[in-house]
Structure 1
């Protein structure tokens, strides 16, 4: 009997942050702007690198210590990451997945974040603070794509699991998690207002 199975699954976790805890999203939004305004090192880095908008990725490593709302956020993220790790059936042994870094992204109209991975982490993710109408989705790339050298393109109506790229349009308060080797990007923000998110990595130790 003919049998066709899907192998080597790529998992994506998508949930409301509030399902596993409470975070004041208004305070989180205000804190992102306050930090961006005061972070001169981050502003300088963004200007030097030609990064549109603002990110604290290269300048601040202690957001949960500086702002209580980020400490609250991490407590909730810990629970979501634990749930995802359980779904992935990781054998963590006597170690745990712990926060490695967390940073702010403020992407203005016309801003993009090019395709990349997070090679030194296990789980990466983002929670969304402001997603105005027209804000760009998260674009995820099939990790096998580079090896499909002679393959024809897929039909436009093919199953989601067979698409070379999948676009996820999150809402404010959503959290997305994926394994850190999954290549992803943020296409151009077409909204007139800022797209604000908080991204993070978890490591195994």
Structure 2
């Protein structure tokens, strides 16, 4: 009897923020992101110096939950989502726990992209979506075995999600995506005339 198993799964968690804890008002969160971006001169300078499209607080503000109550509320909800994902992943955390390492704002204008990358030294990474106008780009995930496929043929267009070389997730405002931090991902070009706003984060094990 023939048996075919799927081994070494790559898990992608997709949920509404409101599934765990009190909902975070998306309008208030969007306004907070825009106000912070407008006031963060150090972040603006870093983006300009490094050719970063739009704005990110990644290199300038490391204490958003301390500065702004809405980010403190957001982290409380994210903690619950990350705990649920860690359970799905069957992580044996021992006497340690997964806790927030950093959290930052991303504002991607028309034509902006975030090239492929991973998040070294973290365990779980993710993003929650604050503004996703029509035409805003999805997030693209890459099969972690890609470099080892060598002479493999391409996949059929109707291949199942778990067999695809690339997977595009198109979240909505109020959604949260989580993945293991070694999973390479990117944001293709924003084709919308409006800004794509998200909040990304990393969790570490300690």
Same-fold call, TM cutoff 0.5: yes
Deviation (angstroms), 1:24: 1.6
Q: Which portions of structure 1, spanning 4 or more consecutive aligned residues, are displaced by more than 3 angstroms?
A: none
> How does 1:28-177 map onto structure 2 within 5 Å?
28-177=29-178
Deviation (angstroms), 1:159: 1.1
The CA distance in 1 between the partners of 2:155 and 2:136, in whole Å, is 26
* Secondary structure of the structure 2 residue equivalent to 1:10: coil
The CA distance in 2 between the partners of 1:23 and 1:153, in whole Å, is 42
* Secondary structure of the structure 2 residue equivalent to 1:114: strand
Match of 1:9 in 2: 9
The CA distance in 1 between the partners of 2:198 and 2:155, in whole Å, is 31
The CA distance in 2 between the partners of 1:48 and 1:62, in whole Å, is 22
Alignment root-mean-square deviation, CA:
0.5
Match of 1:204 in 2: 205
Deviations 1:21-53 (A, max 9, x none): 221211110110010011011000000110010
Q: Give the total of aligned pairs.
A: 205
The CA distance in 2 between the partners of 1:154 and 1:167, in whole Å, is 15
The CA distance in 2 between the partners of 1:24 and 1:170, in whole Å, is 17
The CA distance in 2 between the partners of 1:164 and 1:47, in whole Å, is 33
Point out where structure 1 has 5 or more consecutive residues left out of the alignment: none
Point out where structure 2 has 5 or more consecutive residues left out of the alignment: none
The CA distance in 2 between the partners of 1:30 and 1:157, in whole Å, is 40
Deviations 1:44-67 (A, max 9, x none): 000011001000000100000000
Match of 1:18 in 2: 18
Deviation (angstroms), 1:97: 0.1
* Secondary structure of the structure 2 residue equivalent to 1:41: helix
The CA distance in 2 between the partners of 1:77 and 1:123, in whole Å, is 11
The CA distance in 2 between the partners of 1:51 and 1:173, in whole Å, is 25
With structure 1 as the length reference, what TM-score do the two structures score? 0.99
The CA distance in 2 between the partners of 1:27 and 1:156, in whole Å, is 40
